[in-house]
A and B are shown apart, each in its own frame.
Chain A
């Protein structure tokens, strides 16, 4: 089965700076999703980008998708301390409706 990989594994920045996280995957996908997880909690959906889309925005979030490189990036602009969490990308394969494969995650720390 495919396995997404994110980099960096951990990222620590100052409040107000932008945070960029990358995700790579191995097989064809139907869509790619980004989720956030606070420590010891469940995951919260952030944004979904379809395979025929290249960029998507939601508030301070910007996601890009490059299917030729099988990669995606999540940009959080003007970061806040409350953005501290782990961020996971997840891919939905064409034949695997709703069955998501998660990447390893990026642990983001925003320092006040």
Chain B
């Protein structure tokens, strides 16, 4: 149980285009999802907290107009990288928590490798 599916697993796009990454909770409803970014051999940096039915909460230094987050249903959050540039190339990972479970771990998707050429 507690499966999180992330799609696509990798994507290559041209500079200036936009890319959408989907994060789905398959067997539970997730009112809250988290989006992380990870550079090679580095840690995960929290980008934003995605809240179902309301605006996402962005971490300091993350451009909300650059990284659009939509959490329109209890099982889907999307991250859109707008006007992508080569420096946006990274590994993006989403995670979700089962609501109502105090001290419960996060359940992660398998990540999306974004390469901007």
Question: A residues within 8 Å of B by Cβ?
Answer: 30-31, 33, 35, 40-45, 48, 50, 88, 92, 97-105, 107
Q: How many residues of B contact A (CB 8 A)?
A: 26
Question: B residues within 8 Å of A by Cβ?
Answer: 4, 6, 32, 34, 36, 41-44, 46, 49, 91, 93, 95, 97, 102-111, 113
Closest to B113 in A: A40
Give Cα A45–Cα B107 distance, bound, in whole angstroms. 7
B46's partner among A42, A92, A97, A99 (CB-CB below 8 A) is A99
Contact in complex: A42, B6 (CB < 8 Å): yes
Nearest CB of chain A from residue B73's CB, rounded to whole Å: 19
Give Cα A102–Cα B42 distance, bound, in whole angstroms. 10
Contact in complex: A102, B108 (CB < 8 Å): no
Give Cα A48–Cα B102 distance, bound, in whole angstroms. 12
Contact in complex: B111, A102 (CB < 8 Å): no
Contact in complex: A103, B43 (CB < 8 Å): yes
Give Cα A45–Cα B103 distance, bound, in whole angstroms. 12
Nearest CB of chain A from residue B116's CB, rounded to whole Å: 18
Contact in complex: A43, B93 (CB < 8 Å): yes
Contact in complex: A107, B91 (CB < 8 Å): no
Across the interface, which residues of B come within 8 angstroms of A92, CB to CB?
103
Contact in complex: B97, A98 (CB < 8 Å): yes
Closest to B98 in A: A98
Across the interface, which residues of A come within 8 angstroms of B4, CB to CB?
42
Across the interface, which residues of A come within 8 angstroms of B34, CB to CB?
98-100
Nearest CB of chain B from residue A1's CB, rounded to whole Å: 8
Give Cα A100–Cα B95 distance, bound, in whole angstroms. 11
B105's partner among A30, A41, A48 (CB-CB below 8 A) is A48
Contact in complex: B108, A42 (CB < 8 Å): yes
Give Cα A89–Cα B102 distance, bound, in whole angstroms. 18
Contact in complex: A31, B103 (CB < 8 Å): yes
Q: Contacts A35-B105, A42-B95, A100-B106 given; 8 further ones with Cβ under 8 A?
A: A35-B106, A40-B113, A42-B4, A43-B106, A48-B103, A98-B34, A100-B34, A102-B44
